[in-house]
Chain A
Amino acid sequence: MRQRALDETGLLDAGAEERFDRITRLACHTFSVPIALVSLIDRDRQWFKSRQGLDVTETPRSVSFCGHTIHESKPLIVEDTLADERFVDNPLVTDAPGIRFYAGAPLHTESGCRLGTLCLIDRKPRSFDSTQVALLKELAGMVEDLIQADTRHLRHATVMQEQIQASHDEMTSLLNNMPGVTYRCLADDHRTMLYMSRQVETVSGYPADDLIGNQRVSYAGLIHRDDAPTCHEAVKKAMADNSEWHVEYRVRHRTKGWRWVEDRGRCMRGDPDHPALLEGFIVDITREHDALQQLEQHHSALMLLNDIAFSAQGSLDGKIAHALKKARGYLSADLAILSQIEGTIYTVARVDARADSPINAGQQFALGDTWCDLLMSGEESQGTRECFIPDASQAEYHKHPCYQVNPLGSYAGVVVEVDGRPWGTLNVSSSRIRPQGYDDSEKLFLRLLASWVSEVLTNGLGQDRLKKLMAELPGIVYQFRQFPDGRMVFPFSSPRIEELYGLSPDQAAQDANPAFGRIHPEDLPAVNASIEHSAQTLADWEATYRVGRADRGYRWISGHANPERLRDGSILWHGYLQDIHEQQQARLALEQSEARLRGLFEFSPIGIALNDLESGQFIDFNHALIAPTGYTRDEFVQLSYWDVTPEQYLQDEEKALAELRKNGRYGPFEKECIRQDGSRYPVRLQGMLSKELDGRQVIWSLVEDISERRKLDKMKGQFIATVSHELRTPLTSIKGSLGLLAGGAVGELPEKARTLLATAERNTRRLMLLINDLLDMEKLVAGKMSMNLQRQALGPLLNDAIDAVSEYRHSHNVDIQTPVEWPAVDVNVDGPRLIQALTNLLSNAMKFSPEAEPVDVSVVQHGDRVEICIRDHGPGVSSEFQERLFQRFSQADATDSRKLPGTGLGLAITREICQQLGGQVGYRDAEGGGASFYIQLQVVARAPSG
C-alpha cells in the first residue's frame, strides 16, 4: 500500500530535483545542521530524494532512522544518539556519517500514508525544542505538498497515459479492422511506405512488411501501368494545391489479378525528417467497381436495346435488320440470325453477317444440324428457351451434329415466340470462343432483344395479317379525325384509300382535305353536313356520295362510321368506305326503271291490278282500273272480286283461273264489270301469274275498259258500211248506166263509143274490186269478218275458185292445169273465204304468167295437212321481195302496176284469211323457174266410207 503510494509519486529513482533541494538547503540553514534529507522509504532501503551534506544516495532501511520515523505520525527527535539505546550501536552513528542528532518529520500522502521523512542530522548532540519541531513539521509539510502535488500530477498523467494507450489501442484495432489500408509513405516514385496497415495484404496479397520500406515490392510497382500516370498526376496536383487526392486505379494482387482500389489522402508537411509525407487510405473497391461496371454494361445494353426499339426504322424488316446489326456488334459476333423454325426446317429469316459470310436470308437447314436444335429440342412446355455457349469446343458439344456441321467458337441463342408459340430463334455466333464467357449484361441483352423481336414479330405478323385481311376487304377501313380547330386527318386508313382519294395512308394521316376535293361538287355539301351532324350528335355517320377519279369518272361510295369524342374536343370516327358504284347504279337504274314502270302503271290508260292468287285481294292497282267504276280508291280496296263482276261470268272466270294455274297466264277475254251505280261496262282482261319475293303467288291483270273501243268499233263498222254503201252506190249507177249503153238499151252506138264504154266498164270493175278488197282487209284486220267454218270437201271449193277466175283465163290467155281428180280431202273452212284466198293466188299467178304458159294447181296431202299449190312459169319473186310479199300494199315493182294492175292487198287478204282458217299461206321458188304459192290446211279425217 505504502509502496504503491510511493510508486504513485513517481519520485523514486527520478534523480535530484531543485524544488526539494531548495527545502533541504533551507532546513540546513534554518536549523544550522550539516545534513538535511528528504528520505523516501522503500521496501528495503531509504532513498534520498534530496540530500544536503551527505554523499550516499541511499542506505539500507534496516539501519535507517527514518524507518523508525514513519511508524508514527509525529516527528522523531533523537537529541543524542549515543544516549538512545535504539541507535547507540547503529553503524550510521558509530561510523560515518557519525550521526549524534536526528530529527525527522514523516511525509504523508493525501491518504495519510507515510512515505518517508524530512530529516535533520547533526554530528553532535543537540537539543531540539518544540518551536523547532513545529518549524520542522512546517518544512515537512512543504515537502508533503510537493510530493502530493507530484502524486496528483503523476496520477493524472497516468490516467492520461492510460487513456492515450487505450485510444491508441483502439485506433490500431480500428485501423487493423478497417476495410481499407492506412498508409504513410514518402513522396517518391516508389511511394516508399513508412507505414501500412496490415489490410494491405488482402488488397495486394503482400504483407505490410513486404511493402514498408520497399522490402520486397514497391507499392508504385503494383499500380496498373495504364492507371499509374493518372494516379501520379492526382497526387502531384493534390500536393501542389495542398488538397486531398482521390483516385481509383488497379493494383496487381499477388495471385488474384487486378483489384480496383480507391486511394484518397493528402500530403503532410512539417516532419523534420521528411519534409513531405503522404498519408492516405486505400480501399478495395473491386466489388463495387465490378458492380458499377456491370451496371454500366447493363445500362449500355439497355441503351442499345432502347436504341433498337426506338430506331427510326419504319418497316418490320428495317427494324429487325437494325436490331441484328446492333446485336452482332454488341456481342462481337460474326453472325446474327433471326431464324424461323417450322418442324425440322430451319430457315434463315433475316441475317446480319460479316461481308464474307456464306449465310444469306432464305437459306434453309435441317434443324438438327444447327445449334438452335439445342434450344428447340426440349419439351414444348419447358424447353430450353436460351442457350449460351462461350466455348463450343468443349467436349459436351462434340457429340452434337451441329458441331460437325458448324464448328463454331461461341454461340448464344434465345427462342423467339410469336403469339405465345416458339417461332424461331435469335442467335449470334462467332468462330472465336469467348474466354470471358457471356456476362450478365450480354445475356440480359440477348434475352430482352429476343423478347423485343418476339413482340415486334407478333405485332408485325399480326399487322401483316391485318394488312392482308384489309387488302382483301373490298372497301377501306379508316379513322377520320376532326380537330377543334377544323383540321382533318385520316389517322389510320387501309391502303385502298389511295384508289379512292388518291392519297397514300401516310398522306391521309397528314391532311384529309385533298380527299374532299375528290367528292362530287353536288354531293359535297351533303357530305359536309352529314359529318357536322354526326360530330354534333355523335350519331353514326352514313353517307352515299360520288368520288371522282380522272381515269374512271365519278363512282358511288357508301360510308359508315362511328364517332367518338376525344378529350381535346376532337371527334374521331372509326369507319368503313365502300365502292357501291355498281350497286348504286343498279339501284338508281332500278329506281328509275321502277319509277318508269310506276309511271307507266299509274298513267296507263289500261287498268292494272295486282291480286293475291289465294285470297283474290287487291294488292295494288292503278287509277285506270278504278276510273270507270265510279268507286274511290279506298272504297275499291274494300270490294271483293264478285262485287264488280256479274255472276254470269263465273264460268269465264273459272276458266281463266284454271288457265292461269295451268299456263301461268290467262286471257285475253272480255266480260263486263259493275260500276258503283250498278251499270256495267265492257272490259278486256288478261293476266299472268307472278311470284313475290316471299313466295306468295300474285296475279297481274290488265283490265282494259273497252267501252270506248266498243263504241269505236261500232262507229267503224257503221263507217265501213256507210263507205261501202256510199262508194258502191255511185258505182252501181255508173256501171248500170254503162251496161245499158253498151247493151244497146238506148240504141245502137258507134264502134268508137262502144270501145270507150268497154274501157269505162273495165275501170269501173277495177274500182269495185279495189273497194271490195279494202273493205275486206279492214274487216279481216279488225277481226270483223266472221268465219263460218264448215266441214266440206276441198275439191269443189277448188273448182269454184278456178271458175271464178275463168274470165281472167280468157282475157290473159292463160290456161289453168289441174289434175284429173282432186284428192278426197275434207277441210273445216269458210268456203267463200277460202275461194277468195285461192282466187287471189290464181289471179296473181295468171297475172304474172307469160302468155300461153299454164298455171298449175296441185293438191298434196302430208299427214294431217293438205297443201294446195299454185304454180306459174313467170319470173318468180325476187328474194328481197319475198320478205314483204304478204304485207299490205306490197307490189314487187311499182312500174309494173299499170301493166299488171292490182290493189296490193290480195296476198295480205289471203294471208289473213288463211290464218283465220287455221292454216297458212307461203311462197317458194318453183323448180324450173316461176313462182309457187301454197296454202296449207288442217285435214279433217273422213269417216270410213260406207
Chain B
Amino acid sequence: MSAPEKVLYVEDDPDIREIATLALRDVGGFTLKTCESGDEALRSVQAFAPQVILLDVMMPGMNGPETLAALREQDAITDSTLVMFMTAKVHPDELQRYKKMGVEHVISKPFDPMTLADEIRLIWDGFNG
C-alpha cells in the first residue's frame, strides 16, 4: 500500500495537539484529524476513515486503550489500520499489554516533531511490509 495520507490523532493536551499538528501536517504533510478525547475520536473516525490512528494513552475520560477497544467495538478499525500509542514512559509490562491489544508500536513522548512523520512512515512501511 502507498504512503498513508490520513492520520487520526487523539490527544487531550491542546498544546501537544498543536505541536503534533505542525509536525505531522506542516512538516510531515499528512492529512491530520485531531481529537481532544476518545469520545470525539469515536464520533469522527467513521467520517474521517484514517489509515493511521495515534492514541495518547493517558487521557481523562476514556484513555488510549479504552478508546481503542471502543473503536474496535464500532468496527472503525480494520486490519489495515495502523494503531499506535503515544506515551511518556514505555514500560515492558505495558508494551506486553499493548501487544495483546494488537498494538505493536509505541511512540514515546516527548517526540521529536521534526522526525515524527518520518518515524510514522517508517513504521507504516514495516506494518505493511
A binds B: yes
For B89, the chain A residues whose CB sits under 8 A away are: 724, 728, 772, 775
Q: Determine if B22 is an interface residue (Cβ-Cβ < 8 Å).
A: yes
Within the complex, the shortest CB–CB distance from B17 to chain A, in Å, comes to 9
Number of interface residues of A (CB under 8 A): 27
Q: Mark A181-200, 1 if CB is under 8 A from B, else 0.
A: 00000000000000000000
Q: Mark B52-96, 1 if CB is under 8 A from A, else 0.
A: 000000100000000000000000000000000000110011000
Q: Which of B20, B22, B27, B110 has its CB near the most chain A CB atoms (within 10 A)?
A: B110
Q: Determine if A583 is an interface residue (Cβ-Cβ < 8 Å).
A: no
Q: Determine if B112 is an interface residue (Cβ-Cβ < 8 Å).
A: yes
> Closest residue to A832 on the B side, CB-wise?
B92
For A764, the chain B residues whose CB sits under 8 A away are: 110
> Closest residue to A740 on the B side, CB-wise?
B113
| Contact in complex: A724, B27 (CB < 8 Å) | no
Q: Determine if B23 is an interface residue (Cβ-Cβ < 8 Å).
A: yes
Per a CB cutoff under 8 Å, which of B22, B92, B109 touches A732? B109
A775 CA to B91 CA, complexed, in Å: 12
A700 CA to B88 CA, complexed, in Å: 46
Q: Which of B101-129 contact A (CB under 8 A)?
A: 109-114
| Contact in complex: B113, A728 (CB < 8 Å) | no
Q: Determine if A525 is an interface residue (Cβ-Cβ < 8 Å).
A: no
Q: Determine if A768 is an interface residue (Cβ-Cβ < 8 Å).
A: yes
For A49, the chain B residues whose CB sits under 8 A away are: none
Residues A736 and B19 in contact in the complex (CB < 8 Å), given A725-B58, A743-B114, A745-B113:
yes
Q: Determine if A638 is an interface residue (Cβ-Cβ < 8 Å).
A: no
| Contact in complex: A733, B23 (CB < 8 Å) | no
Q: Mark A734-758, 1 if CB is under 8 A from B, else 0.
A: 1111011011011000000000000
Residues A739 and B113 in contact in the complex (CB < 8 Å), given A729-B16, A745-B22:
yes
Q: Determine if A133 is an interface residue (Cβ-Cβ < 8 Å).
A: no
A830 CA to B112 CA, complexed, in Å: 27
Within the complex, the shortest CB–CB distance from B108 to chain A, in Å, comes to 10
A743 CA to B112 CA, complexed, in Å: 10
Q: Which of A736, A740, A742, A743 has its CB near the most chain B CB atoms (within 10 A)?
A: A736
For A730, the chain B residues whose CB sits under 8 A away are: 15
For A775, the chain B residues whose CB sits under 8 A away are: 89
Per a CB cutoff under 8 Å, which of A736, A772, A788, A830 touches B16? A736
Within the complex, the shortest CB–CB distance from A428 to chain B, in Å, comes to 115
Per a CB cutoff under 8 Å, which of A728, A745, A832 touches B110? A728
| Contact in complex: B15, A740 (CB < 8 Å) | no
Q: Determine if A721 is an interface residue (Cβ-Cβ < 8 Å).
A: yes
Within the complex, the shortest CB–CB distance from A366 to chain B, in Å, comes to 106
Q: Which of A763-814 contact B (CB under 8 A)?
A: 764, 768, 772, 775, 786, 788
Q: Which of B16, B19, B26 has its CB near the most chain A CB atoms (within 10 A)?
A: B19
A768 CA to B109 CA, complexed, in Å: 10
Within the complex, the shortest CB–CB distance from A180 to chain B, in Å, comes to 149
> Closest residue to A726 on the B side, CB-wise?
B58
Q: Determine if A731 is an interface residue (Cβ-Cβ < 8 Å).
A: yes
| Contact in complex: A743, B110 (CB < 8 Å) | no
A742 CA to B114 CA, complexed, in Å: 9
For B88, the chain A residues whose CB sits under 8 A away are: 724-725, 728-729, 732
Q: Determine if B5 is an interface residue (Cβ-Cβ < 8 Å).
A: no
Residues A733 and B92 in contact in the complex (CB < 8 Å), given A739-B113, A745-B114:
no
| Contact in complex: A735, B110 (CB < 8 Å) | yes
A416 CA to B103 CA, complexed, in Å: 119
A745 CA to B26 CA, complexed, in Å: 7
| Contact in complex: A731, B110 (CB < 8 Å) | yes
Per a CB cutoff under 8 Å, which of A728, A740, A768, A772 touches B19? A740
Q: Determine if B40 is an interface residue (Cβ-Cβ < 8 Å).
A: no
Per a CB cutoff under 8 Å, which of B58, B93, B110 touches A721? B58
Within the complex, the shortest CB–CB distance from A534 to chain B, in Å, comes to 78
Within the complex, the shortest CB–CB distance from A221 to chain B, in Å, comes to 154
Per a CB cutoff under 8 Å, which of B19, B93, B109 touches A786? B93
| Contact in complex: A745, B13 (CB < 8 Å) | no
For B22, the chain A residues whose CB sits under 8 A away are: 736, 740, 745-746
For A772, the chain B residues whose CB sits under 8 A away are: 89
Number of interface residues of B (CB under 8 A): 21
Q: Which of A739, A830, A832 has its CB near the most chain B CB atoms (within 10 A)?
A: A739
Within the complex, the shortest CB–CB distance from A20 to chain B, in Å, comes to 197
For A745, the chain B residues whose CB sits under 8 A away are: 22-23, 26-27, 113-114
Q: Which of B1-45 contact A (CB under 8 A)?
A: 13, 15-16, 18-20, 22-23, 26-27
| Contact in complex: A732, B23 (CB < 8 Å) | no
Q: Mark A700-742, 1 if CB is under 8 A from B, else 0.
A: 0000000000000000000001001100111111111101101
Per a CB cutoff under 8 Å, which of A736, A786, A830 touches B111? A736
Within the complex, the shortest CB–CB distance from A833 to chain B, in Å, comes to 9
> Closest residue to B90 on the A side, CB-wise?
A832
| Contact in complex: A739, B93 (CB < 8 Å) | no
For A742, the chain B residues whose CB sits under 8 A away are: 114
Q: Mark A273-285, 1 if CB is under 8 A from B, else 0.
A: 0000000000000
| Contact in complex: B111, A732 (CB < 8 Å) | yes
A768 CA to B58 CA, complexed, in Å: 18
For A788, the chain B residues whose CB sits under 8 A away are: 92-93
A768 CA to B111 CA, complexed, in Å: 12
> Closest residue to A734 on the B side, CB-wise?
B110
Per a CB cutoff under 8 Å, which of B20, B58, B93 touches A736? B20
A725 CA to B63 CA, complexed, in Å: 13
Within the complex, the shortest CB–CB distance from B27 to chain A, in Å, comes to 5
For A832, the chain B residues whose CB sits under 8 A away are: 92
Q: Mark A815-845, 1 if CB is under 8 A from B, else 0.
A: 0000000000000001010000000000000
For B111, the chain A residues whose CB sits under 8 A away are: 732, 736
A429 CA to B89 CA, complexed, in Å: 121
| Contact in complex: A732, B16 (CB < 8 Å) | yes
| Contact in complex: B113, A743 (CB < 8 Å) | yes
A739 CA to B113 CA, complexed, in Å: 6
Within the complex, the shortest CB–CB distance from B81 to chain A, in Å, comes to 24
Within the complex, the shortest CB–CB distance from A909 to chain B, in Å, comes to 14
A733 CA to B92 CA, complexed, in Å: 25
A746 CA to B21 CA, complexed, in Å: 13
Residues A739 and B112 in contact in the complex (CB < 8 Å), given A745-B27, A772-B89, A775-B89:
yes
A732 CA to B70 CA, complexed, in Å: 26
A744 CA to B116 CA, complexed, in Å: 14
Q: Mark A450-482, 1 if CB is under 8 A from B, else 0.
A: 000000000000000000000000000000000
A736 CA to B93 CA, complexed, in Å: 27
> Closest residue to B59 on the A side, CB-wise?
A725
> Closest residue to A738 on the B side, CB-wise?
B113
For A736, the chain B residues whose CB sits under 8 A away are: 16, 19-20, 22-23, 110-111, 113
Within the complex, the shortest CB–CB distance from B71 to chain A, in Å, comes to 22
A733 CA to B26 CA, complexed, in Å: 16
A733 CA to B16 CA, complexed, in Å: 5
Within the complex, the shortest CB–CB distance from A835 to chain B, in Å, comes to 12
Per a CB cutoff under 8 Å, which of A734, A735, A740 touches B27? A740
A730 CA to B20 CA, complexed, in Å: 13
Within the complex, the shortest CB–CB distance from B92 to chain A, in Å, comes to 5
Residues A732 and B27 in contact in the complex (CB < 8 Å), given A724-B89, A740-B19, A786-B93:
no
For B92, the chain A residues whose CB sits under 8 A away are: 788, 830, 832
A729 CA to B59 CA, complexed, in Å: 11
Within the complex, the shortest CB–CB distance from A789 to chain B, in Å, comes to 11
Q: Which of A729, A732, A734 has its CB near the most chain B CB atoms (within 10 A)?
A: A732
Within the complex, the shortest CB–CB distance from A145 to chain B, in Å, comes to 192
A739 CA to B20 CA, complexed, in Å: 11
A764 CA to B16 CA, complexed, in Å: 15
Task: Pull 7 A–B residue pairs with CB atoms less than 8 Å apart, ordered by A.
Answer: A721-B58, A728-B109, A729-B16, A729-B88, A732-B110, A736-B20, A772-B89
Q: Which 3 A-B pairs have the closest CB atoms?
A: A743-B114, A736-B19, A733-B15
Given contacts A721-B58, A733-B18, A739-B23, 17 further A-B contacts (CB under 8 A): A725-B88, A729-B13, A729-B15, A729-B88, A729-B109, A732-B13, A732-B111, A733-B15, A733-B16, A733-B19, A736-B19, A737-B15, A739-B114, A740-B23, A740-B113, A743-B114, A830-B92
